[in-house]
């Protein structure tokens, strides 16, 4: 299918408490490449198979969490159109333009706050600095990989109160589709939404919670279940704070393990999942099956996984 409009997640910007500890974690444990530092003290990273200049941004702060998430769109015309629609919608607040170059090697960005309180950005241009294998007769993976070595930044899971408004914004304005959902009670209240702008099971997911603007995790793609198991070995070998896994999700069918960076931001590496197409019906889970929906092997909920956010 032709993917137009919003193409994919482009970047996630995280706050960390100790910058050098965080840099060590994201390079030596997770396995991203540090590409530069700027005059603001921010550090920029990318995964080995990402073409663009960067996908992860860290800055030192007094509180951990996510500053914003960015989305690549297909053209300046789309950027202007979506910015206009967002400015006209009551679902988007605190709208503003960020000048080209504020993120290095990146064009102008349109920033807005969604009903769950999270800050999002759209942009159309970022310099292509190339992936680690190149694009002419490439090998399947590069030499010199470190840590878990994901191929890309993949998605975020976010917590917030106004799930209805956020789903409406993403589907009605940004053109996302609802791949999976969790509903609760006799009224089938939607308590979780897994949204896609591509042919993945999800590019972003939201959980209905009473607080605004909470970050559950950012996720990075591995190539196989065996690589997830290797990530589990690295977590133990390097004494990284383990959250849960390795296991499988019922939702998305992904194979997964969760762990924390030194500031308490949750990371995930995962593999698998299904291919989504526009004619695929939305998969619905009911709250009485949340155990296998989230942790297919254990088939039971873990309170810390559900409640610990930054």
Same domain, 208 and 267: yes
Q: Which of the four pLDDT bands, split at 50, 70 and 90, describes residue 292?
A: confident
Nearest to 247 by CA among 300, 202, 298, 203: 298
216 annotated active-site: no
Nearest to 254 by CA among 236, 276, 237: 276
Same domain, 75 and 208: no
Residue 120 and residue 110: Cα distance in Å, rounded?
8
Nearest to 147 by CA among 48, 294, 57: 48
- Picking from 123, 143, 175, the residue at the C-terminal end of a domain is 123
Region 98-104 average pLDDT: 97
Same domain, 219 and 80: no
11 annotated active-site: no
Residues of the chain with pLDDT > 70, as a percent, come to 98
The model's pTM:
0.96
202 annotated active-site: yes
CA distances from 132 to 29, 44, 45, 135, 231 (A): 18, 16, 13, 9, 20
Q: Of these residues, 50, 103, 249, 255, which one is catalytic?
A: 249
Q: Does position 161 have pLDDT exceeding 60, yes or no?
A: yes
Q: Does position 68 have pLDDT exceeding 90, yes or no?
A: yes
Q: Of these residues, 180, 227, 255, 268, which one is catalytic?
A: 268
Note whether residue 136 is domain-resident. Answer: no
Note whether residue 198 is domain-resident. Answer: yes
Residues facing residue 153 across a β-bridge? 220
242-248 and 214-221 strand pairing: unpaired
Q: Which of the four pLDDT bands, split at 50, 70 and 90, describes residue 304?
A: low
Same domain, 161 and 108: no
Same domain, 166 and 84: no
Residue 185 and residue 123: Cα distance in Å, rounded?
39
- Residue 126 corresponds to which tokens in the numbers above? 């970022």
The range of the structural domain enclosing residue 32 comes to: 6-123
Q: Is 208 helix (H, G, I), strand (E, B) or coil?
A: strand
Note whether residue 91 is domain-resident. Answer: yes
Residue 95 and residue 169: Cα distance in Å, rounded?
14
Same domain, 209 and 81: no
Same domain, 229 and 281: yes
Contact 220, 154 (CB under 8 A): yes
Tens-place pLDDT, residues 185-233: 888 999 999 999 999 999 999 999 999 999 999 999 999 999 999 999 9
- Picking from 101, 123, 145, the residue at the C-terminal end of a domain is 123
Q: Of these residues, 121, 155, 216, 255, which one is catalytic?
A: 155
Tens-place pLDDT, residues 237-264: 999 999 998 999 888 999 999 999 999 9
Q: Identify the H or E element spanning 138.
A: none
Q: Of these residues, 26, 202, 216, 255, which one is catalytic?
A: 202
Indicate the average pLDDT of the chain: 94
139 annotated active-site: no
Q: Does position 103 have pLDDT exceeding 80, yes or no?
A: yes
Sheet holding 254-260, edge to edge: 242-248, 254-260, 266-272, 214-221, 152-160, 204-208, 189-196, 177-184, 283-286
pLDDT at 202: 95
Note whether residue 168 is domain-resident. Answer: yes
Those residues with Cβ within 8 angstroms of residue 80's Cβ, 6 or more apart along the chain or in another chain: none
Note whether residue 146 is domain-resident. Answer: no
Same domain, 102 and 161: no
- Picking from 77, 105, 123, the residue at the C-terminal end of a domain is 123
Same domain, 41 and 115: yes
Nearest to 126 by CA among 55, 221, 77: 55
105 annotated active-site: no
Note whether residue 90 is domain-resident. Answer: yes
Note whether residue 28 is domain-resident. Answer: yes
Same domain, 158 and 303: yes
Region 100-129 average pLDDT: 98
- Residue 28 corresponds to which tokens in the numbers above? 């030596």
54 annotated active-site: no
Q: Does position 290 have pLDDT exceeding 90, yes or no?
A: no
Same domain, 290 and 159: yes
Residue 20 and residue 4: Cα distance in Å, rounded?
38
Contact 106, 52 (CB under 8 A): no
Same domain, 114 and 161: no
Q: Does position 1 have pLDDT exceeding 70, yes or no?
A: no
Q: Number of structural domains, the chain?
A: 2
Note whether residue 133 is domain-resident. Answer: no
Q: Does position 172 have pLDDT exceeding 90, yes or no?
A: yes
Tens-place pLDDT, residues 10-63: 999 999 999 999 999 999 999 999 999 999 999 999 999 999 999 999 999 999
Those residues with Cβ within 8 angstroms of residue 280's Cβ, 6 or more apart along the chain or in another chain: 179
Q: Assign residue 93 the CATH number of its domain.
A: 3.10.180.10
Residue 112 and residue 93: Cα distance in Å, rounded?
6
- Residue 141 corresponds to which tokens in the numbers above? 């993976």
Q: Of these residues, 123, 217, 227, 255, which one is catalytic?
A: 217
Residue 197 and residue 113: Cα distance in Å, rounded?
19
């Amino acid at each position: 299918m032709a993917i137009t409009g919003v193409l994919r997640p482009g970047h996630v910007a995280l706050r960390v408490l100790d910058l050098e500890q965080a840099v060590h974690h994201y390079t030596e444990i997770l396995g991203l490449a540090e590409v530069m530092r700027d005059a603001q003290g921010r550090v920029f990273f990318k995964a080995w198979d990402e073409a663009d200049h960067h996908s992860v941004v860290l800055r030192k702060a007094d509180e951990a969490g996510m500053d914003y998430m960015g989305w690549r769109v297909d053209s300046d015309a789309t950027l202007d159109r979506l910015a206009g629609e967002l400015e006209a919608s009551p679902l988007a607040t605190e709208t503003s333009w960020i000048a080209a170059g504020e993120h290095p090697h990146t064009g102008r960005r349109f920033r807005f706050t969604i009903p769950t309180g999270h800050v999002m950005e759209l942009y159309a241009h970022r310099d292509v600095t190339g992936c680690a294998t190149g694009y002419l007769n490439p090998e399947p993976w590069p030499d010199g990989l470190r840590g878990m070595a994901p191929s890309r930044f993949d998605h975020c899971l976010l917590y917030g109160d106004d799930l209805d408004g956020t789903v409406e914004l993403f589907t009605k304005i940004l053109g996302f589709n609802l791949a999976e959902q969790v509903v609760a009670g006799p009224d089938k209240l939607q308590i979780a939404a897994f949204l896609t702008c591509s042919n993945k099971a999800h590019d972003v997911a939201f959980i209905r919670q009473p607080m605004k603007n909470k970050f559950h995790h950012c996720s990075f793609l591995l190539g196989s279940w065996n690589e997830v198991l290797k990530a589990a070995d690295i977590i133990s070998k390097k004494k990284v704070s383990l959250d849960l896994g390795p296991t499988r999700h019922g939702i998305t069918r992904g194979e997964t393990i969760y762990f924390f960076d030194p500031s308490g931001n949750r990371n995930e590496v995962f593999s698998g999942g299904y291919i989504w197409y526009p004619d695929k019906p939305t998969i619905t889970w009911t709250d009485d099956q949340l155990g296998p929906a989230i942790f297919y092997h254990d088939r039971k909920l873990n309170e810390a996984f559900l409640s610990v956010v930054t």
